[in-house]
Amino acid sequence: MTTPILLLILLTAPYLFARLLASAGRSGPDPNAAAAVGLGLVFLFTASGHFVQTEPMVQMLPAWVPGRVPLVYLTGVLEIAIAIGFFIPRLRRLAGLSAVAVLILFFPANIHAALNQVPMGGHAWGPVYLLVRAPVQLILVAWAWWFTQRRAVKRGSPLGRRAGAARS
């Protein structure tokens, strides 16, 4: 069950590093940009499984799905494209929406894999793995939405003043 832990480390490390630099008064990457980089790292990591562990990835899909091997490769390429989008500022919003859609649409494959104890990641643990995987999936969806879809509140705007007043 190291995969979910590794995913969370890849996801949060760039953001936490940016926040640490900011709290120390040093200039560094924008925390929102760093959070997007974390998503890019997660998607690169998960995409690699499509090419390195193709057969277990194929087993994650029900037998009735046609063209499972090409589909695994195609979705790996899709995940790489999403990852690249997180590294390019003008593509982050699109990458975020794409990531949310992919995370939601691919989750049934994780359920199938856990119920059938596919020997990949923690899926071999069976249905109990979903107690770990489902919350991680929700964190990834929330992270992608929060850091790529919400609009930044501009300082000086009425909303920004209210938010600042609430913190005081």
Spatial contact of 72 and 124, defined as CB atoms under 8 Å apart:
no
pLDDT at 152 over 60: no
Indicate the range of 66-75, 91-100, 101-110, 129-138 predicted with least confidence: 129-138
The neighbour count for residue 130, using CB atoms within 10 Å, is 19
Q: How many CA atoms lie within 13 A of 15 on its CB side?
A: 17
Residue 28 backbone phi and psi in degrees, to 5: -165, -170
Alpha-carbon gap, residue 140 to 4, rounded angstroms:
11
* Nearest residue to 43 via CA among 93, 74, 85, 94: 85
Domain ranges of the chain: 2-151
Q: What is the pLDDT of residues 21-79, one digit of tens each?
A: 999 998 888 999 999 999 999 999 999 999 999 998 999 899 999 999 999 999 999 99
Rg (CA), the chain: 18
Distance of CA 97 to the CA centre of its chain: 11
pTM score: 0.84
